Amino acid sequence: MHFFKKIFNSRSQQNGNFFMQVSEIIGFKPANISLYEKAFTHRSMNIKDEDGNAINYERLEFLGDSMVSSIISSYLFKEVPSGNEGYLTKMRSKVVSREHLNELGSDLRLIDLIKTRIKKENFGNNIHGNLFEALVGAIFLDKGYRACEEFIHDRVIEPYVDIKKLESKIISHKSLLIEWCQKNKKDFFYQVYEDTGNEVLKHFAVKLFIQDKMVAKARATSKKKAEEKASKRAYFALKREIYYT
Which of 144, 154, 137 is closest to 36 using CA atoms? 137
Which one-letter DSSP state was computed for residue 153?
I
Which of 204, 172, 165, 206 is closest to 189 using CA atoms? 206
Task: Point out which residues pair with 210 in neighbouring strands.
Answer: 188, 213
CA-CA distance, 157 to 160, in Å (whole number)? 5
Which amino acid belongs to residue 208? L
User: How big is the CA angle at 16 (ends 142 and 124), to the nearest 5 degrees?
Assistant: 70
Alpha helices in 112-222 (DSSP H): 126-143, 145-152, 158-160, 163-168, 173-183
CA-CA distance, 154 to 131, in Å (whole number)? 17
**Catalytic pick among 37, 65, 142, 228:** 65
Which amino acid belongs to residue 91? M
CA-CA distance, 150 to 71, in Å (whole number)? 10
**Catalytic pick among 37, 61, 133, 142:** 133
The H-or-E segment that residue 234 falls in is helix 223-243
Which amino acid belongs to residue 193? Y
CA-CA distance, 89 to 96, in Å (whole number)? 11
Q: Is 65 a catalytic residue?
A: yes
Active site positions, annotated:
65, 133
